[in-house]
Structure 1
């Protein structure tokens, strides 16, 4: 549409710039990558776990902080070892409370490699030093497989546990677990894929919202890292896309009804203002803020390096059955 009056342009552009809410505030230790955030039930303390080394543990009394680093969940690393990673560099934690224990799933791999494995550690409190490595859960990948076994995400459906995982190659897969600590013999199956580009889908997170009766599958889509060295083409950087289904095991579609296994995915959050490349996301119900989306992002006023990525969070609202930031 062409506007005859240039005075309308600032209003139009301003509206577009405000399409997404800015991240909630953060103080203290705000660096993170692929965060997992959970609130401890005994005292409502917040814990945040991040990719790298033995999984950094940070703690706060509110989402805004101040966040304090407690050290590492597994300072000695994992007993799992794969080519290119001896077990000292753990990725993409995903933390849940099951019964009276906290379960932390993590991945072992090396950048760009399909050789990967998913492991588990458990704790009664989530404090640094309280975690016990349980080793591999039986979900792994090697060259030639259709998937890459990183970015684990657990969802419980009734008495069934499902593990979502994957990155690039055949994109996002799911497998039922025989119990929270073991894979069993069930075969994995594809729940999201694209046929274009480099298959840059990863970091999936699934949650159920009782207000709509749908399961929502959130995916990090695009190039995640190294923005200080090479900036992706505009729009090719990380963003969070979503699909939904009445079933946790498949048939996910986007807002236009396009299947998530055929390249579907509606944008939940993308670059805007000083926020660049948001991704590595998850969702949890906060006792103070309700349903919250959390993620990492680059603050363009600070810097584009991976070492400068920050913790972001927003309350979710709903529109026509879909979450909105």
Structure 2
């Protein structure tokens, strides 16, 4: 009887310990969620109180992402600001494509505004064999793909599509020096080209990217190149989701997600706050929000939040809202991922925006 009592007491003790552990874990989760919510709300309040002060492109960037996260029409007008900006830009560029010397001169302008720092110099050098590449991709593809995401067709679209189909994008997309300078941007261009049906370069870019950044050569990468690799990896997933409009297949991107999981310690050590947030969001997009990588990236972002300015500062300590909106809206998304993503916004279907469409766009057929 005594033996049975001891055995019974041991079971009770073990059960109590298990329940205590579960309660402790739950308590930690609750504390973490409270911290996540506080940082999310702090950034949100800060940005939305000053949204009208931000440049149109930045207002649009924020409005589009918050609409896709929430489906709330109150963000549609901020996104509409972006539509006006990209429509005007497409009208200028696409409708002038047949003017003599236009592409060459605008390509030179696109390169000239890259800046004068070390990264800009490296990018300019990489572009030397492809002087018109940036015009076709960062100008024509960028504006037309955005308009297309809204379910619309922009001005002189036929002329634009024809020019993009004739352009040699593959050579620039798969060039080693270009990948070392523009990894994330190039995967965007590849997916945008596929989206607009002007060429499918996604797999070719993937193979070229892996050849430039094989995992067994990571030890040879300095911090800048390692960040470029990470930034490229996150954008494979982001571009595939059409920028947070729908989930992605975790099997298709297991090669990236497994890499993040295996290398999270170095990522947290060497990456910027922007990239660290993107790594966590990559798991959200793949339906793997419970992966430990997400909690680790969330903890890092919470720690990076500056309560005094209610913002995550730049690596140099700058709290500027316009310059830091990208970093901080990523933080918001990481900390408060929705159960459902929302496509568009499709402005012609929303009460808040359908009466205020630019005259130069039409509903996509």
How high is the TM-score relative to the length of structure 2? 0.30
More helix by share: 2
Which structure has the larger Rg over C-alpha atoms? 2
**Taking structure 1 as the reference length, what is the TM-score of the superposition?**
0.33
Q: Which has the higher contact order (CA 8 A, sep 6+)?
A: 2
Q: Which has the higher strand share?
A: 1
